[in-house]
A = this chain, B = another copy of it.
Amino acid sequence: MNYQAFKLSKYPQGKITMDIFDQVSLPMPALKEGEFLVKQTHMSLDPAMRTWLQERDDSYMPPVQIGEVMRSYGVGEVVESLNPRFPAGSRVVGVTGWSEYVLGNEEMAVIDPSVSAEAVLSIFYITGLTAYAGLMKIGMPKKGETLVVTGAAGSVGSLVGQLAKAEGLRVVGITGSDEKCKWLVDELGFDAAINYKSDNLEAQLNAAAPNGVDIFYENTGGPIQEIIFNQLNRFGRVIVCGVIADYDNAIPAKGPSWVDINLKSLRVQGFIATDYLEISDEAVSVLGNYLAQGKIQYKTHTVEGFESLPEGLMMLFKGENTGKFVVKF
């Protein structure tokens, strides 16, 4: 029996296009002692995937190599097992790849039967850890401060904003449509939301953050970056979680001058979730409590069918999703 997978055929030049992936048919592996086989059911599409397609050797992990199956996170069911930690019938989450079936690995985690795959991918795995670690450990939020988050209707951004609200902050979301703005304010309880495709962004931000900005959680980059940066208060913190707008460019746009970093004692700090694996349990516990109390909610943008993966990734980078992008099959 064979299964389907997508391999990387070439690196993208600029924006991601369909033709950088090849769909291939692979033979089902025979398990050796200690191995287990996972049938994927839910795959996560994440902005970080663009960085795994960059030919550079000094990033936090090597890029996906030409001819390799595309890297991704996913949830699946163990269908065959020679490993007692991952018995057949259990569900797991981990680094899987664009493949209907994958050999399991010891870094995978078994999922509690009561938790849905969507909740795992939205809250209890990398997305949740990213939002939690960035906001709490780098942002060090204090009640009454003002947070601005870009990519606010995305999986990480929507969680960051809700978590900051739960912690007592004023929250302003930046996103790409009036509809998403409405969702952030009406459904998620953000104090204000700004469509970055509208006019007079500086004045809008001034009105939305009348006491200035204490924490800037950056998911996107682009021209809005400097507008927010310029409104940071003394001792402001910037959490550089992602700069999608810049990943496509061979020579990325420059950042703000360091004069303000100096004169306003700012801190601009980048991270990736796996820098903070040691606080995974803390993140799960805090986010789980807020979820149970109704203080945070999640939304998934689900696309069906394994074949939808390349197109889904392009949709993600066009910002066509609201909430966590999941491909289900």
Contacts and interface: CB of A to CB of B under 8 A. Distances in A.
Interface of A: 51, 56, 58-60, 218, 221, 225, 234, 240-243, 246-247, 252-272, 275
Residue among A51, A60, A263, A266 facing the most chain B CB atoms (10 A cut-off): A263
A201 B90 CA distance: 57
Contacts of A242: 262
27 contacts: A56-B263, A58-B234, A59-B263, A218-B258, A221-B259, A225-B258, A240-B262, A243-B257, A243-B258, A243-B259, A246-B257, A246-B259, A252-B258, A258-B268, A258-B270, A261-B269, A261-B270, A263-B272, A264-B270, A265-B269, A265-B270, A265-B271, A265-B272, A266-B269, A266-B270, A267-B267, A269-B269
A127 to B, nearest CB: 16
Given A254-B255, A268-B268, A269-B269, 6 more contacts: A59-B263, A252-B259, A255-B255, A265-B269, A267-B270, A268-B269
Contact of A60 (B51, B225, B264): B264
Contacts of A246: 257-259
A226 to B, nearest CB: 9
Given A60-B234, A234-B60, A263 B270 contact: yes
Contacts of A268: 258, 261, 267-269
